Structure 1
Amino acid sequence: MSDLFFINTESREAARWLIDVSKSSICWSNRSAKALFSTEISKDRLLNSQLKNALIDKVQALTSLSPEREENLCWVIKCQDGRVLQCIGHRVHLGPGHLGVKVEAREMTSLVDMGSGQTIGSVDDDEPYAHLDAFNLSYFRFDITGKCLRQSAQALTQFENVEEFKDLFAVSAMAPSVFGQLLTKGRISTDVRFLTKTGIHWCHIEGYKESAGDSFYLQVTDKQDIRLAEAELYRLKNYDSLTRLPNRESLYLKLDSQIAKVAQKDQSFGLLFIDLDGFKTVNDSFGHQVGDELLCGVARRIQGVLPRNTQLFRLGGDEFAILVEDILNDSNLIEVAQDVVSVSAQPYPVEDLEMLVTASVGISKYPDHGKSIDDLLKTSASAMCRSKALGYNNFCLYDNGMKQDYRAQLTLGGALRKAIEEEQFELYYQPKIRLSDELTVGAEALIRWIHPEHGMIPPDKFIPIAEETGLILPLGEWVIKRACHQLKEWREAGHPPISLSVNLSGRQFMQSDLVEMVRATLAETGVDPKYLELELTESMLMADAQQTIEKLHGFRKLGLTLSIDDFGTGYSSLAYLKKFPIQTLKIDRSFVSDLGIDADDDAIVKATIAMANSLNLKVIAEGVESRSQIDVLNDYQCEEVQGYLFAKPMNNIDFSSYLSAQSQNQYDLLAPVH
């Protein structure tokens, strides 16, 4: 006779122990027994009722046998954790009235013959597997035509109307293949999809043909929960839980597959590295819930513009990547990047707010810019850093010169904090000129990093790093304090009073204590607030219009002047512009450079100045470099200008000399002629 399981004969020590049946306890056990029966034997060495009753019944049944007829005890038991164990024991006497059993046990894992007379309880020679019903095992017996001869009690609870072998299968076309393997090979072990009473489930089957050849047996183990757990584990490992996009792990797998695919065909593919501009400001100011909703909105919007042969990944934080397959030339990648930049810049409605973030995109191409996964990620990240340096909301295609830039970025990031602590920074000043008499009436403070080894580092190299790391907050505070002290020094030096403007970053503007910090600095330096001007961008103001209005009124109560910088390049609402307590608009240099040449720029500048005049706002045009631009701006009644035509940014010493020289010139012009 055959049994349903075979013993796992790995080279580990067998579990052995001695049981006192009368006391329901363990007299002795080895290490393997303690581990194997951890769920069946309590810490007090007491047996559970299932094991105890099985032993007592069998041992007492054997007491009437003479010593020469005494046989080994053999039983199958199913543990609470689902393992099936075979136990083999010998009846022993432990003393008067004490029955005992010496036991050896191993875990059972598959289907083979085991011989007859080895099960606990009664055995039906016509149906040798009936005893397995007691252990909740699901099994079937079929004849060689596929007709079901018997099924266990557990199988009846799982399946219904199983008259033929094919009735088990969710896809009946699979049945002949499995059935054929059983008939030809005599055994099978595989996973299939069965139709159960609760739906289609993945099941593991172990089957073998009887030695007589007229039937075969099939044990079925439901693996649906395991399969679902595996699927969930795969999802957690390979997909981002927030956006449901494939994650960095998936990108590595996909890139590895893509490289192998195109390497032999002399083909190319592209990788776009995306970093959101201004996201950290939103996250820090409004919390992670708002930030998470914004990230999901960005992901949905980018996915909506991607062509067929692309896939979007979230790498973590506010970083994304796009794999572009089967490209013909660089223009294919540039078109995708343009669409991403364009769609990302539109406002996002989040919790009754209109959030504004933009995207900086770096582009690399296989194999031109890297033949490995790491090289492609590095080159695309380098190109992304270049796009940020160019002013955000932009894209760049990698070139070899960016490698050094990327390394420099990493180096600067580590040195920036030390630079703030050691005040390695200096403010430069660019004059603001009143057009009516071309006198200097103000200046803009521009930060420069004077590195002890690398010399002067321009802002476009370190400001993006400061934004990303959060160091923009202490750096911005230093700029405001230094600007106020500078106004105090100019006043004490006897220079004519002029205004000094300071640019605020988006993250700095969202500081809850920013107004109080400025108030304390003005009080410390004794500077008249009307000479300090704060410049803000349109994007910054529109991130949360209501909170912006409250903060701007806080500055106005201090007596500060407020200006919108780079006007016309961002997203603004004229309805809100009327509500903002702003005194000045600065026309971006991109509109000034082609004045008198480009009719569209002329129209934009003229309309902006006219609108500002109607709202009683002062207008400053930046980037002025020629007299022809001055003529046009005068015609449009622009009040002030700023640009290289009059002066480049200067350090404190040069700017003081500049102010002194201008004061002398003015004195000479006013002095009487003899």
Structure 2
Amino acid sequence: MASTSTPEFRHIFVIEDQKARRIIALDEPTYSIGRESSNDIVIYDRVVSRHHATLVRIKPSPKSDNYSYRILDGDLEGNHSTNGLIINGQPAESHDLKHGDVVLFGSDSKASYYIISTSLEIALFNPVEAEQFEGSMRLSEEDNRSTIINDIPENINPVQASVDLLRLSSFAELNPNPIVEIDYSGKIIYLNPPASIKFKTIHQESLQHPVLAGLLDQVQNVRGNLLLREIQVQGEIYEQYVHYLSDSQVIRSYLCDITQRKQAEQSLAQHTFYDILTGLPNRALFEEQLAIALAKAQRDSSALAVLFLDFSNYGRIVNAFGLNCGEYLLKNVAQRLTETLGTDGLATRWQGEEFALLLKRPGDQAQIIQSIEKLLARLQGLLEVSGQPLHLKGRVGIALYPEAGADGPTLLKNAHTALEQVQDQEYYSYAFFSPKLASKSNLLFRLENLLYEALEKQQFYLTYQPLLNLKSQKVTSLESLLRWHHPELGEISPVNLIPLAEKTDLILPIGQWILRTACHQNKAWQNAGFSPLPVAVNLCLHQFQQPNLVEIIAGILQETQLDPVYLTLELPETVVMKDPEYSQKVLTQLQELGIGLCLDDFGIGLGGLSCLQQFHINTLKIHPSFSADLPNNAINLALIRHIFNLGHSLNIHTIAKGIENNHQVDCLQDLQCEEIQGFWFSKPLKAENISEFLAQHPV
């Protein structure tokens, strides 16, 4: 008769899903895995496919007794699962399993594969048979009587006494981990020393003790397999391996203290999936939860919303109070977001002071607006830093599923596009994504690429518009104006060019190119023998707020050898008044270099008079709207008269812009306007045409 030897190793599959944690001993040739009950191994998770994977036993050779298992994505007919397999963090369609491999089927479902020694399994979980003890302890009859039998009380079965005595020197007694046995009636029949020390109240609490609670309920369900669960006893966490030994009517538990491991896992998870500063989920966890929420929304035909949130005044607060204040604000925002969203939403710190939010049950648009206004009001609540009251001003971009996208990346992108729209509109606090916004964003992206190309391939050029003194009829200065000639699109309108460049970081290198080119050209005209004239260069907000602006301008003047008095910088009053303290410092430094300063588009901002009060300005350029209807518009006539009178009183050179006809010129002469700029005198000219123009007009 052939002997049936026990395999040296056992193959164990530990399943963890939404329902439970189970141990399955693998010995069949194949196992189907999925959420349908017809599978050999059922995964209780709706994200898992009906037939998600297949385990196949493989042998190195037909005659070999050793084998392992290969896991395949989908079934044996070639049908793949929806979400695929992630094995040890990497996607795979097929994988030969090794000890310790971890297989992810979904966000909440995984399996671990182990190869364990059969002898260890027997030592831990198999009942000890009396015949085995008798065989293992068979001594001479005399020795037997002297060491065991004589010490046995008359009412104790000798065989049972042998079992008990052997147990004293067995694996269980010497094992440092707790081992507990109960019978099928719930009576405790064995505790090893560590169990007696660790679980001092187990006899009093009996089946209510965490180690024993619920074990009898699983007698019919486990059917000889291992039950693996985690329990907590007085603050310590244990992994409990439970084996139901139906032949001997014994339930044996082997417990491992995993408290330190769980603490380490929690710490690792905290660093892996949570933002260290705020404690909020990080981007990886947020995107995972968004994918799960989308799957549910698709299944239920329900809505959800993705939001991006930032703060318009965060940078100013950090500049005023420091980075520690910024961190304090972000922690406070995170706490308020968590409290406001509750279980219906999720927030993450996306980057910097930017947060992404998920609303799982957003309601209709009116309800979303109400929720956002409530959220912004909560975030704007009073904060105090160093005794100073602070109010954060939040801005929100919103993308709705399914209108604004059917997947996570698209919804996130479109929500951020909506936020950028709010950032451009200073007086709005939120915006919904729309296809029109997407079209505008795509156009901006394409134009930005064209701007890079234009700068690299030198498609930009400057024109210069002369200014005329009405009394002397002489050219007084030139204003440089940026132009762009694209080889395919032709001339790009300057009305669109500068605002587009200001929306990108390219305005800084473009601005330096304009400044350098204008200074080079002015010096070239002087070297050619023309009378020196100031050339004006416009600066926008981003250029003016460069920390090293003065150094850049001084360097270009030195490079081009242009006298600073022949350079004028034109600044809109809105730029100057954005940060008066900063403006005062920079304007003073520029004037110390000898550069002229001109306040452009005077009259349309909110701080025109305040500018004149706070800053020493050489020149004013009146916005063209004031001279457009002269002399027929009585209001404009009165306003422009007062501006000229103000300029004369303060000894500020005042220029009228946008002059296109004789009626305007006659009216301005009556108002004692000294200088004009506009098509009536000259349109903007290319550099090569300026030489001819200056030869024909006195300077």
Normalised by the length of structure 1, the TM-score is 0.60
Q: 1:57-72 residue pairs with structure 2 within 5 A?
A: none
Query: Aligned match of 1:204 in 231, 240, 243?
Result: 240
After superposition, what is the alpha-carbon deviation per residue over 1:594-650, rounded to whole angstroms, capped at 9, x for unaligned?
xxxxxxxxxx56xx5167337655665546354444632543655447765667899
Gaps of 5+ in 1: 16-34, 37-82, 89-105, 564-583, 592-603, 668-674
Aligned to 1:458: 497
Q: 1:586-665 residue pairs with structure 2 within 5 A?
A: 589=604, 591=605, 604=606, 608-609=608-609, 612-613=612-613, 617=617, 622=623, 624=625, 626-627=628-629, 628-629=635-636, 631-635=638-642, 639=647, 640=654, 653=685
Aligned to 2:275: 240
Aligned to 2:561: 526
Aligned partner letter, 2:639: V
Residues 383 and 402 in structure 1, CA contact (< 8 A), matched pair in contact too: yes
Distance 1:401 1:185, change over 3 A: closer
Distance 1:210 1:376, change over 3 A: closer
How many angstroms does 1:408 deviate by?
Answer: 3.6
After superposition, what is the alpha-carbon deviation per residue over 1:246-294, rounded to whole angstroms, capped at 9, x for unaligned?
33333333433443444466654433345778999999x99xx977974
How many angstroms does 1:207 deviate by?
Answer: 3.7
CA distance in 1, matches of 2:177, 2:424: 67
Aligned to 2:663: none
Residues 182 and 188 in structure 2, CA contact (< 8 A), matched pair in contact too: yes
Residues 247 and 313 in structure 1, CA contact (< 8 A), matched pair in contact too: yes
CA distance in 2, matches of 1:266, 1:356: 39
Aligned to 2:214: 177
Aligned to 1:192: 230
Residues 276 and 358 in structure 1, CA contact (< 8 A), matched pair in contact too: yes
Residues 358 and 392 in structure 1, CA contact (< 8 A), matched pair in contact too: no
Residues 336 and 379 in structure 2, CA contact (< 8 A), matched pair in contact too: no
Q: 1:12-161 residue pairs with structure 2 within 5 A?
A: 111-113=125-127, 117=132, 125-126=163-164, 129-130=167-168, 131-132=170-171, 133-144=173-184, 146-161=186-201
CA distance in 1, matches of 2:543, 2:133: 77
Residues 364 and 379 in structure 1, CA contact (< 8 A), matched pair in contact too: yes
After superposition, what is the alpha-carbon deviation per residue over 1:331-389, rounded to whole angstroms, capped at 9, x for unaligned?
55556777899999999999999999987754322222223323323333443455556
Aligned to 1:43: none
Distance 1:369 1:235, change over 3 A: same
CA distance in 2, matches of 1:14, 1:185: 28
CA distance in 1, matches of 2:392, 2:457: 33
Residues 282 and 291 in structure 1, CA contact (< 8 A), matched pair in contact too: no
Residues 508 and 542 in structure 2, CA contact (< 8 A), matched pair in contact too: no
SS where residue 218 of structure 1 aligns? Answer: strand
SS where residue 8 of structure 1 aligns? Answer: strand
Q: Among the aligned pairs, what percent are the same residue?
A: 18
After superposition, what is the alpha-carbon deviation per residue over 1:433-486, rounded to whole angstroms, capped at 9, x for unaligned?
999999997776554544333442623334333x2xxx5543332232123234
Query: Aligned match of 1:221 in 240, 256, 262?
Result: 256
How many angstroms does 1:503 deviate by?
Answer: 1.6
CA distance in 2, matches of 1:149, 1:403: 72
Residues 382 and 402 in structure 1, CA contact (< 8 A), matched pair in contact too: yes
Distance 1:540 1:224, change over 3 A: farther
In the alignment, is residue 321 of structure 1 matched against residue 328 of structure 2? no
CA distance in 2, matches of 1:427, 1:337: 47
Aligned to 2:294: 259
Using the TM superposition, name which of 623-632 and 130-139 deviates more. Answer: 623-632
Distance 1:479 1:662, change over 3 A: closer
Query: Aligned match of 1:497 in 533, 548, 559?
Result: 533
How many angstroms does 1:219 deviate by?
Answer: 0.9
Distance 1:148 1:267, change over 3 A: closer
Aligned to 2:436: 401
CA distance in 1, matches of 2:334, 2:467: 41
Query: Aligned match of 1:8 in 1, 7, 10?
Result: 10
Residues 148 and 164 in structure 1, CA contact (< 8 A), matched pair in contact too: no
Aligned partner letter, 1:248: R
Residues 189 and 206 in structure 1, CA contact (< 8 A), matched pair in contact too: yes
Residues 168 and 195 in structure 1, CA contact (< 8 A), matched pair in contact too: no
CA distance in 2, matches of 1:235, 1:550: 46
Distance 1:396 1:156, change over 3 A: same
How many angstroms does 1:506 deviate by?
Answer: 4.1
CA distance in 2, matches of 1:473, 1:395: 29
CA distance in 1, matches of 2:284, 2:299: 24
CA distance in 2, matches of 1:657, 1:355: 56
CA distance in 1, matches of 2:471, 2:613: 16
CA distance in 1, matches of 2:354, 2:488: 32
Residues 281 and 510 in structure 1, CA contact (< 8 A), matched pair in contact too: no
Distance 1:459 1:179, change over 3 A: farther
How many angstroms does 1:218 deviate by?
Answer: 1.4
Using the TM superposition, name which of 308-317 and 289-298 deviates more. Answer: 289-298
Distance 1:210 1:364, change over 3 A: closer
Residues 161 and 167 in structure 1, CA contact (< 8 A), matched pair in contact too: no
In the alignment, is residue 423 of structure 1 matched against residue 458 of structure 2? yes
Aligned partner letter, 2:125: L
Residues 390 and 460 in structure 1, CA contact (< 8 A), matched pair in contact too: no
Gaps of 5+ in 2: 1-6, 12-25, 27-56, 67-97, 100-113, 138-160, 630-634, 648-653, 661-676
Aligned partner letter, 1:189: L
Distance 1:438 1:272, change over 3 A: farther
CA distance in 2, matches of 1:151, 1:304: 50
After superposition, what is the alpha-carbon deviation per residue over 1:134-180, rounded to whole angstroms, capped at 9, x for unaligned?
3423211335554544422333454433324658846xxx9543333
CA distance in 1, matches of 2:380, 2:538: 25
After superposition, what is the alpha-carbon deviation per residue over 1:488-537, rounded to whole angstroms, capped at 9, x for unaligned?
3566684773451432554784455x433322311233333243326499
Q: 1:376-455 residue pairs with structure 2 within 5 A?
A: 376-387=411-422, 396-427=431-462, 447-455=482-490
Query: Aligned match of 1:482 in 508, 511, 517?
Result: 517
- Report the number of matched residues: 531
After superposition, what is the alpha-carbon deviation per residue over 1:583-604, rounded to whole angstroms, capped at 9, x for unaligned?
x586684x4xxxxxxxxxxxx5
Distance 1:207 1:440, change over 3 A: farther
How many angstroms does 1:220 deviate by?
Answer: 0.9
Distance 1:439 1:311, change over 3 A: farther
SS where residue 241 of structure 1 aligns? Answer: coil
Aligned partner letter, 2:215: V
Distance 1:200 1:302, change over 3 A: closer
Aligned to 2:80: none
Using the TM superposition, name which of 139-148 and 329-338 deviates more. Answer: 329-338
Residues 311 and 393 in structure 2, CA contact (< 8 A), matched pair in contact too: yes
CA distance in 2, matches of 1:386, 1:182: 62
Normalised by the length of structure 2, the TM-score is 0.58
CA distance in 2, matches of 1:488, 1:482: 10
